[in-house]
Amino acid sequence: MAATALICDTEPWKDLKEHINVIEKTHLRDLMNDLNRCQSMMVEFDGIILDYSRQRARLDTMEKLFKLAEAADLRKKIDSMCNGEHINSTENRSVLHIALRAPRDKVICSDGKNVVPNVWDVLDKIKDFSDRVRSGSWVGATGKALKDVVAIGIGGSFLGPLFVHTALQTDPEAADCANGRQLRFLANVDPVDVARNLKGLNPETTLVVVVSKTFTTAETMLNARTMREWISSALGAQAVAKHMVAVSTNLTLVEKFGIDPANAFAFWDWVGGRYSVCSAVGVLPLSLQYGFPIVEKFLRGASNIDNHFYSTSFERNLPVLLGLLSVWNVTFLGYPARAILPYAQALEKLASHIQQVSMESNGKGVSIDGVPLPFEAGEIDFGEPGTNGQHSFYQLIHQGRVIPCDFIGSIKSQQPIYLKGEVVSNHDELMSNFFAQPDALAYGKSPEQLHHENVPDHLIPHKTFSGNRPSLSLLLPSLDAYNIGQLLAIYEHRIAVEGFIWGINSFDQWGVELGKVLATQVRKQLHLSRTEGGPVRGFNFSTTTLLTKYLEVEPGNPSDSTVLPRI
């Protein structure tokens, strides 16, 4: 494909467009009867099973999608990413999160330099530091061991680590290693988030990790200054050196803030914020909580999928299959959303992490060359663990809008429970729903069936389920650190595949900049009005009115002295 051509101008794209008519005439009830098709749509890698037989696709649909991948130069784009080319062209950067979890002896170059040794220098430094904190050889200013960690960061400097932390909390091996320790996350600039984080914490035993790629993010820096004040007002300014460390690409600003560069953990501009959980962004807080060996296991899981993604043919490549099916659903079948439904409470924060990875990566309206896209790209991601979601938004998924679903389950529970006399164990009960929901969506329930069940006529339309609603199932062997790393990498690469096919830049995020600029103007106005009583100026009628109302009420804090939360 020529560099500036759009994928929608290619023959495989046009072919798929025509193919929609064919698929519109099928129903999943019938597609599911084709055993050969169903067998082909079951792919296994390293104990992870992907079943995509409940997608609105036939085997020839897949052939056509593979042709589309060829037309989009997918193989070349994957290679370019893994070879460190500057595929993030608007920021002129490589995209090398795969290097963050590569084994020591691997060579991955950015700008002609192997980056893997630098990655391992930082990992070794994290191991050493976290070992010292956990063993009590690094202590706080008053000589007490630091058993509580507050990680300050937002967006990519928060959501990935929170997802992994939440998933590891109940893994028995990880939980054992975390005994007596706490990891908390402070993300929102809302003072209530500070109050919640500080509740029950003692500055003498608390270590604060400031996580920010740029070290300029307004929310994170205000929260960092707040925590610095909390520590120094209790223990004196000199205590900051023992109680605050940082993770950033901007070590100059870290030092300016007052954190010793020796206690800073670097990463690099070739790591996108939302792809940074395998850098010090995630590895430092998680190692402090669980110890480095658990986190290394997580990194090995992610690396295992990196190799699979790089080397496996598209027909059996989990991220490629998932990415192609997403493109099919979003752009061809016109389903803009995707529900992420882990039947695992441990994966409670998966959907919110993937929401950022996917929507910040692929929420774009122009091609990588800046040409407006004449088709819809990007998808709306949301989700909740099953079965909770079933009692919330599944009504809409079953009888309202069509939303392709990702069902994710694990064969083994992290925390098995069985009550003598019960029909099944608690995990089997959970998984009964995991297995049943996809069929309910695919087959539905017809008026004929309802007649058969003597349902009164007037209720038949209400109780009818059209079915034909696509989903896919991912069944993992268990949910230990390794599997969690695998799952993360599957989603990261799937999202990259989607962007590669759509021909967009999945690695920049210009769309989040405007809001930041607008907040700057408001911040200036609030300062001026609060300190000098200046009138609200320079905003439209709506904002002026709301700001004026907001400023009419006393804020409840003096502007000439520090106030910290009281709970």
State which residue, 51 or 492, has the beta carbon closest to ligand F6P: 492
CB distance 474 to 407 below 8 Å: yes
Rounded to 10 degrees, the C-alpha dihedral 158/161/166/171 comes to -170
- Specify the residue for token string 């914490």: 201
Handedness of CA 202, 203, 207, 213 (dihedral sign): positive
State which residue, 134 or 274, has the beta carbon closest to ligand F6P: 274
CB of 525 to ligand F6P, least distance (A): 23
CB of 277 to ligand F6P, least distance (A): 11
State which residue, 185 or 434, has the beta carbon closest to ligand F6P: 185
User: 122 by DSSP, 3-state: which?
Assistant: helix
220's CB contacts (< 8 A; 6+ apart) are 152, 153, 154, 157, 210, 211, 212
State which residue, 219 or 296, has the beta carbon closest to ligand F6P: 219
Which residue, 179, 154, 157, is CA-closest to 169?
Answer: 179
Catalytic site residue from 219, 348, 360, 384: 360
Number of neighbours of residue 435 by Cβ within 10 angstroms: 14
CB of 435 to ligand F6P, least distance (A): 36
Q: Which amino acid is at 151?
A: A
CB distance 211 to 153 below 8 Å: yes
Residue 504 has what DSSP assignment? Answer: -
Catalytic site residue from 113, 256, 391, 451: 391
User: 555 by DSSP, 3-state: which?
Assistant: coil
CB of 252 to ligand F6P, least distance (A): 14
CB of 159 to ligand F6P, least distance (A): 8
Residue 498 is among the residues annotated as catalytic for this protein: no
State which residue, 156 or 389, has the beta carbon closest to ligand F6P: 156
Q: State the greatest distance between any 2 C-alpha atoms of the chain, in Å, as a whole number.
A: 78
State the Cα angle at 429 between 426 and 430, rounded to 5°: 90
CB of 479 to ligand F6P, least distance (A): 25
State which residue, 396 or 512, has the beta carbon closest to ligand F6P: 512
CB of 506 to ligand F6P, least distance (A): 12
Residue 360 is among the residues annotated as catalytic for this protein: yes
Q: Which residues pair with 219 in a beta bridge?
A: none
C-alpha span between 473 and 48 (Å, rounded): 10
Residue 380 has what DSSP assignment? Answer: E
Q: Which residues make up the interface to ligand F6P (CB under 6 A)?
A: 154-157, 212-214, 217, 220, 273-274, 360, 509, 512
- Specify the residue for token string 């649909």: 61
Of all helices (H) and strands (E), which one includes residue 338? strand 337-342
Within 199-291, residue ranges assigned H as helices are: 218-235, 240-243, 251-257, 280-290
Residue 398 is among the residues annotated as catalytic for this protein: no
State which residue, 212 or 437, has the beta carbon closest to ligand F6P: 212
- Enzyme catalytic residues: 360, 391, 516
